[in-house]
Amino acid sequence: MSTPLSCSDLMAEAESEYTALPLATRAGGIVHLRNLLMLSPEGLNSARVILDAFGNAEADFTAMLPQMRDLLLLISDGPKVLAKEMQDWPLGMYVRVVEAWQGATQSGEALDSAS
């Protein structure tokens, strides 16, 4: 009889492969912005709706600031800490953090891939 698969081991492998982006707050804390593939099905659906809105070529980033905030809170492993950090962020900070997260967790784009 073969050894059963360990859900703990598989989860550790998934977390290792689909890494999060660590973000150090000004207060000295660290939150992790999780890879899309590590979100719950509900979280993934919510994140995809927000990300699809970003793909609109005519998107007004000023109007999208609340959506960027919602996305970051959704993917964060510490939404309370991150919410406090974001209280005085300008639009440019939201854009920079979202772009850094997307760059660090690009494997999430495989969800749209035909291959």
Q: Where are the domains of the chain?
A: 7-105
Which of these, 19, 37, 39, lies nearest to 79 by C-alpha position?
Answer: 39
In this structure, the chain runs to a length of 115
CA 44 vs CA 2, 40, 63, 81, 89: distances in Å: 34, 6, 22, 21, 25
Contacts within 8 Å (CB) and 24+ apart, 26-30: 26/85, 27/81, 27/84, 27/85, 29/78, 29/81, 29/85
Q: How confident is the model at residue 46 (pLDDT cuts 50, 70, 90)?
A: very high
Q: How confident is the model at residue 115 (pLDDT cuts 50, 70, 90)?
A: very low
* pLDDT mean over 19-42: 96
